[in-house]
Chains A and B, each alone.
Chain A
Amino acid sequence: MATVHVNGQAVDIGTEKLNLIEAADRGGVFIPHYCWHPALTVVASCRMCLVEVGDTQPDGSVKMQPRVVPACQTPAKDGTVVVTNSERAKYAQAQTLESLLINHPLDCPVCDKAGECQLQDYTHKFGRAESRMIDEKFAPPNKPNIGAQIELFTDRCIMCTRCVRFTREISGTAELLVNHRGEHAEIDIFPGQPCDNKLAGNVVDLCPVGALCSKDFLYKQRVWYLKSHDSVCADCSTGCSVHVDENKDILYRLRPRENPLAQGHFMCDEGRFGFHYVNSKERILRPQLRRDGKLIPATWEDVLPALRRDIAQAVKQDGSAVVAVLSPFLTCEEGYLLARYFKSLSGEVRLALGPVPTVGEDDTYPKDRHGKPVEPVKFTIRAEKCPNRRGVEEVLRHFQGEVIGFDDVVRLSGEGRLKAVYAAAGYPPRPGGWVSAEQAAALAKTPLLVVQDILPSPASALAKYVVPAVSFAEKEGTFVNHAGLAQGLRRAVKPPAECHTDGQVFLDLMERRGLVHAPTIRAELARDVPFFAPLASGTIDALGVMLK
């Protein structure tokens, strides 16, 4: 058991190997830092985390070191004494901040980072009010094409080299480098080799100032307008924990949320920039039903009773000819409600798993210079491009023991053996789509085809009923990732005016009263399905719950 004294307060750090920044953090003392990042190597070059350090001698006295030392590089040992608020430490930090601002342009008004900029924050908290520098600042030209998604505002860089180390240590692609020397040092790329790896977007998050900016988000919003919601990325089965940033119900960006159980600190660009369909103008905005061969917009008041009636009729004719397709983009709760609805109509109704989009192999990082993966793996982009196959499968297994594939549904439908298909899709737009034109034509042979989806697809064009679905950012629920980690989705934006969340639609189909409330349903799910038993309380904390 090791005890560290942080500003006179004893902090027990157990047996963990921590540096002083982490140890002080345990004691509630924040030590400012730029170059240090828990996932990257220590270079101790920004000199922002300078503190006074001492050791407790065997006789109990404290021997302070004669100079300030960087906290990031100093391991916390039993008896280490850290002083962050002494005149000397504060002076060293203020001096570093003044230095950083020597060549940093004060263009905060036009800088996208303003508001979440660590240089701003630390200067406010630890720095001087005014710079004494009166000479001209060195302002190298911007590099707008340092990456397809990244722009480098060279003059704002404070040379923490987090981005360089990221590309070398996490992605392994090593596109970024430091060029020139001294105050002329700048981040650069090799000519013609932009930073376009699949994790490149992370350097924007890593950048403590506004030097590396995401072109996707550039100038779209000032960050202080954004409201952040904890959620889960729905783009692959890694299930990265993310912050969903929105303003006035428009989704502006996703940022990775540190979660050691899920993905660590980072997320891939596919997920990061793949959310734009949520704001799409193409979305299915209201329920539609087919009358005289044409799909016409309708109200929920019309559609829901008709839907209930038609499905009940089909079940009455032949329960086994009714199929509900549960896409792996449904939350566990939604899958559970839909399964329960159909199973309550008849035990013979069949439940199928929607198509599971899979692209290539799992993509692991870091890579070596030949693009081959290197051990140890620090980040994985999964081939399975859906967030909740495991969760939905577990629900299906519970209700009918086996999982019917989507191809079987298409085949049965093409053979004209089905009376009704309810396809709860909710797929984001990805190349190829979730259903091809042929598959859609086969599905359309079923007299009652209900398609619930976010965007129009060949299947929705042929469906008898089209029901709007909502995206991951608009609903609450649980996703279970590839490893069995159940994470909670929080609603970040309101769905379009006439869209009901999928869970609400299922609830209404069941004629259960009230609004859908994820924790309640989750508790029910945990009671009914043993796999989800750890979720019995209905709540999931920010890191999620590991299901076995």
Chain B
Amino acid sequence: MPIKTEDVKWIETPKLGVLDHLYLPAILEGLKTTVFGHMLTPNITVQYPEVQAKMPPNYRGVHRLNRDEEGRVKCVACYMCSTACPAHCIDIVAAPSPWPDREKYPETFVLDELRCIYCGMCEEACPVDAIELTTLHVLTGLSREEMMFDKEKLLSVFDQTVKDGTDPIRTSAGRLGPASEQPKQAPVPGQPGAQP
């Protein structure tokens, strides 16, 4: 798509005065920033691993698979994440769901954390907000197999983050998008909309 003319912002070279042409004031100004703006201000580095960094809630770390209110995996095995994934690190096997309120669920869900580039596309693609990237950033393992996170492991990440109270926040709209919420009122049997 070509850039539209009205989207192009033209920036002009600022007009320099005599003082600016001397460069010296600018250098002094720069030095002021260097010294007083940064060098003498407190450092923001954290002494990892003695001190654990507190990641901002929108940090993209280890994935988790969310559970719904009944503790079942929220994922509906739609493959949107694995389709969106630029690193092809998500492998899903879908199956008819054992629960009546949905048609499909992931029989297996394997995410290769080594292959993942933590871009967050899976999270964006998920229509039911089942996969999220948490603030967990310490990810180690001794073998490749260990880094292939399966469904149980990803669900356990969810449990852990819920326990720790470090739920990720993804959008300005709130914790989760509207699509992920099941209809609140219980469907009346026989009425339109009642689930089979």
- Mark B55-74 against chain A: 1 for CB-CB distance below 8 A, else 0: 00000000000000000000
**Known interface pairs A219-B94, A219-B96, A222-B83; A110-B193 also in contact (CB < 8 Å):** no
Beta-carbon nearest neighbor of A139 in chain B: B193
A107 contacts the other chain (CB 8 A): yes
- Mark A210-248 against chain B: 1 for CB-CB distance below 8 A, else 0: 000000001110101100000000000000000000000
Do B193 and A109 touch across chains, with their CB atoms under 8 A apart? no
Contact residues of B between 13 and 64, Cβ < 8 Å to A: none
* Cα distance, A142 to B127, chains bound together (Å): 22
Secondary structure call for the B interface:
loop
B116 contacts the other chain (CB 8 A): no
Beta-carbon nearest neighbor of B78 in chain A: A109
Which of A109, A141, A225 meets B127, CB within 8 Å?
A109
Do A141 and B96 touch across chains, with their CB atoms under 8 A apart? no
Do A219 and B193 touch across chains, with their CB atoms under 8 A apart? no
Which of B77, B192, B195, B196 meets A110, CB within 8 Å?
B77
Q: How big is the A interface, by class?
A: 10 to 19
**Known interface pairs A109-B80, A109-B127, A110-B76; A218-B193 also in contact (CB < 8 Å):** no
Nearest chain B CB to A137's CB is how many angstroms away?
7
Beta-carbon nearest neighbor of A138 in chain B: B192
* Cα distance, A378 to B196, chains bound together (Å): 38
**Known interface pairs A110-B76, A219-B96; A137-B193 also in contact (CB < 8 Å):** yes
Residues of B near A109 (CB, < 8 A) are 76, 78, 80, 127-128
* Cα distance, A218 to B97, chains bound together (Å): 12
Residues of B near A141 (CB, < 8 A) are 195-196
Residues of A near B127 (CB, < 8 A) are 109
* Cα distance, A153 to B103, chains bound together (Å): 10
**Number of A-B residue pairs at CB separation under 8 A:** 40
Contact residues of B between 82 and 121, Cβ < 8 Å to A: 83, 94-96, 102-104
* Cα distance, A138 to B94, chains bound together (Å): 26
**Known interface pairs A109-B78, A219-B96, A224-B83; A136-B193 also in contact (CB < 8 Å):** yes
Residues of B near A222 (CB, < 8 A) are 78-79, 83
Nearest chain A CB to B2's CB is how many angstroms away?
22
**Known interface pairs A218-B96, A219-B96, A222-B83; A139-B192 also in contact (CB < 8 Å):** yes
Residues of A near B95 (CB, < 8 A) are 219
Secondary structure call for the A interface:
loop
Beta-carbon nearest neighbor of B193 in chain A: A136
**Known interface pairs A136-B192, A224-B83; A110-B96 also in contact (CB < 8 Å):** no
Beta-carbon nearest neighbor of A153 in chain B: B103
Nearest chain B CB to A150's CB is how many angstroms away?
14
Nearest chain B CB to A185's CB is how many angstroms away?
14
Do B80 and A110 touch across chains, with their CB atoms under 8 A apart? no
Do B80 and A138 touch across chains, with their CB atoms under 8 A apart? no
* Cα distance, A136 to B127, chains bound together (Å): 19
Contact residues of B between 155 and 196, Cβ < 8 Å to A: 192-196
* Cα distance, A139 to B196, chains bound together (Å): 9
Nearest chain A CB to B69's CB is how many angstroms away?
19
Nearest chain B CB to A473's CB is how many angstroms away?
22
Do B196 and A219 touch across chains, with their CB atoms under 8 A apart? no
* Cα distance, A110 to B95, chains bound together (Å): 11
* Cα distance, A456 to B85, chains bound together (Å): 41
Residues of B near A153 (CB, < 8 A) are 103
Residues of B near A107 (CB, < 8 A) are 103
Which of A138, A142, A224 meets B193, CB within 8 Å?
A138
Residues of A near B103 (CB, < 8 A) are 107, 110, 142, 153
Residues of A near B194 (CB, < 8 A) are 139
Beta-carbon nearest neighbor of A184 in chain B: B192
* Cα distance, A139 to B188, chains bound together (Å): 13
Do B83 and A110 touch across chains, with their CB atoms under 8 A apart? no
Beta-carbon nearest neighbor of A219 in chain B: B94
* Cα distance, A261 to B62, chains bound together (Å): 56
Nearest chain B CB to A245's CB is how many angstroms away?
16
Nearest chain B CB to A358's CB is how many angstroms away?
38
11 contacts between A and B (CB under 8 A): A107-B103, A109-B128, A110-B104, A136-B192, A137-B192, A138-B193, A139-B192, A153-B103, A219-B94, A219-B96, A224-B83
Closest 10 CB pairs of A and B: A109-B78, A141-B196, A219-B94, A110-B104, A138-B192, A109-B127, A222-B79, A110-B76, A136-B193, A110-B103
10 extra interface residue pairs, beta carbon distance < 8 Å, beyond A109-B76, A110-B102, A219-B94: A110-B76, A136-B192, A137-B192, A141-B195, A219-B77, A219-B96, A220-B94, A222-B78, A222-B79, A225-B79
